[in-house]
């Protein structure tokens, strides 16, 4: 369930939090925040189990994942399925506390989450499907806030999608050599020698879209300060990536969680 690796929770929570704050003019109710935070934690854990179940025969051939509990036999498939069922029930109960549209969107998110682990077997860029899955919290936050889709939500969806593809390409760089041997696909393989420049382009467009969003939604100088600090994170990530080592690719990926939270903190002040 990866509770020992909170970066994944932060990466899923950040876009949901952005949407909650933007849809509610910076003042979402505590009830909504608690519901979405708990839902994020449950679905992130559920997604990890789905992924490990689907990849248990692949993970043993990958250096980074060969010791995962399902792969090394520490946890049985039955036990994993039982825990998965409990997590999905918990997430479903949370979704039922929200407007009906949220329930339908949650079902769609679950379907995409279930498909994603298999995407690397037939899609050249499975990160595109992850971009959709990890963006579902945005329309759900708007629906729960009873705010109809608008330009701000559209810009947020686009920038979040690009950001996800960028940081998951960093993650895929860590396993690229193993993935090539196994035959699974990723944007790190698709982009090839242009992977790092492609990530830089995606991050640059993502960060620039925050300024576009600011044209449709008033944000204060506090957000501007966080935006500048966020740009510093992107520069540091690029510095790590140009070294072209798997260790630094993982470090760059982990910094993405801080970037997402930083932009959320910026919204808290404006």
Q: Please give the mean pLDDT across all residues of the chain.
A: 92
> Residue 107 above 80 pLDDT?
yes
Q: What are the angstrom distances between the C-alpha of 189 and each of 81, 101, 166, 240, 250?
A: 31, 37, 13, 19, 16
Tell me if 129 sits within 8 A of 112, measured CB to CB: yes
> Residue 126 above 90 pLDDT?
yes
What is the number of other CB atoms lying within 10 angstroms of the CB of residue 146? 10
Name the nearest CA neighbour of 179 among 236, 128, 246. Answer: 246
57 pLDDT band (50/70/90 cuts)? confident
The radius of gyration of the chain's CA atoms, rounded to the nearest angstrom, is 18
> Residue 61 above 90 pLDDT?
no
Tell me if 132 sits within 8 A of 161, measured CB to CB: yes
Q: Which pLDDT belongs to residue 189?
A: 95
Tell me if 52 sits within 8 A of 5, measured CB to CB: no
Q: Which pLDDT belongs to residue 177?
A: 87
Stretch among 85-89, 150-154, 220-224 having the lowest mean pLDDT: 220-224
Tell me if 126 sits within 8 A of 119, measured CB to CB: yes
> Residue 270 above 60 pLDDT?
no
As a three-state string, the secondary structure of 195-220 is: HHHHHHHHHHHHHHHHHHHHHHCCCC
> Residue 62 above 90 pLDDT?
no
Name the nearest CA neighbour of 84 among 53, 124, 39. Answer: 53
The first and second tokens of residue 204, run together, are 């640059």
The first and second tokens of residue 5, run together, are 């690796």
Name the nearest CA neighbour of 89 among 29, 123, 45. Answer: 45
Q: In the predicted model, what is the mean pLDDT of residues 261-265? A: 96
1 pLDDT band (50/70/90 cuts)? low
Superfamily assignment of 7-268 in CATH? UbiA prenyltransferase (1.10.357.140)
Name the nearest CA neighbour of 68 among 4, 12, 122, 9. Answer: 4
216 pLDDT band (50/70/90 cuts)? confident
pTM for the full predicted model: 0.93
User: Residue 211 burial (CB < 10 Å; 0-12/13-18/19+)?
Assistant: exposed
Q: In the predicted model, what is the mean pLDDT of residues 74-94? A: 92
The first and second tokens of residue 259, run together, are 């970037």
The first and second tokens of residue 137, run together, are 């919290």
> Residue 77 above 90 pLDDT?
no
Question: In terms of pLDDT, which residue wins out, 256 or 53?
Answer: 256
């Amino acid at each position: 369930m990866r509770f020992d690796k909170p970066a994944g929770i932060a990466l899923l929570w950040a876009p949901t939090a952005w949407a909650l704050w933007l849809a509610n003019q910076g003042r979402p109710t505590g009830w909504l925040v608690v519901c979405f935070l708990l839902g994020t934690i449950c679905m992130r854990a559920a997604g990890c189990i789905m992924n490990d179940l689907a990849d248990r025969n692949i993970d043993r051939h990958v250096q980074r994942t060969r010791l995962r509990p399902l792969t090394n036999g520490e946890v049985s498939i039955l036990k994993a399925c039982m825990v998965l069922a409990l997590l999905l029930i918990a997430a479903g109960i949370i979704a039922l506390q929200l407007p009906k549209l949220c329930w339908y969107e949650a079902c769609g998110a679950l379907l995409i989450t279930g498909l994603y682990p298999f995407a690397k077997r037939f899609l050249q860029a499975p990160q595109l499907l992850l971009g959709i899955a990890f963006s579902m919290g945005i329309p759900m936050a708007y629906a729960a806030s009873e705010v109809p889709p608008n330009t701000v939500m559209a810009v947020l969806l686009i920038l979040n999608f690009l950001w996800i593809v960028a940081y998951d390409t960093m993650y895929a760089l860590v396993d690229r050599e193993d993935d090539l041997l196994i035959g699974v696909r990723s944007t790190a393989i698709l982009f090839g020698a242009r992977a790092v420049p492609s990530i830089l382009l995606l991050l640059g467009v993502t960060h620039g879209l925050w300024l576009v969003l600011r044209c449709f939604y008033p944000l204060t100088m506090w957000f501007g300060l966080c935006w500048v600090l966020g740009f510093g994170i992107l520069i540091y990530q690029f510095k790590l990536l140009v070294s072209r080592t798997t260790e630094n690719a993982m470090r760059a990926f982990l910094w993405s969680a801080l970037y997402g939270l930083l932009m959320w903190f910026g919204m808290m002040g404006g």
